[in-house]
Structure 1
């Protein structure tokens, strides 16, 4: 993962933990505290799921880019090898004509 992704995950987790602790230590009834905590956790769960989806999509994008670049490099190498082989064959033909 990239440095910014790790920072974002740490921020989201820190916000979730901070919210949970704030709610737990706030003076309120147990049922209200549980309801608020449940609401906040579900909200952060959705945000975390979205973040994970974005990271997975980004990983797939990088993988596709790497595959495309790899194919391009292979095609370039193949073309250069074919050109080199043609040049070698021309040199061999020229040497044979000269002898």
Structure 2
């Protein structure tokens, strides 16, 4: 019984010490970190949208046998990019809600 109490006390002490060190050693405040992540997400979103538009614009340039294969690849990439955009928008929305 005493050993169990000792273990619980050591666990609590470790938790408190970890929280103390974490708070004082953090490089930035949570709100600043979330704002930075939100900015980076929006930047990635814009780049991905521009890349998708470029791919969609160039998909009509193929003129030979590779045309079919290229269209399939581009379609797959565009659908994957759209899924990533949806996920980025979801994450950005969640971050915006936490910063308010």
Compare the two structures and name the one with the higher helix fraction.
1
Q: If the length of structure 2 is used for normalisation, what is the TM-score?
A: 0.48
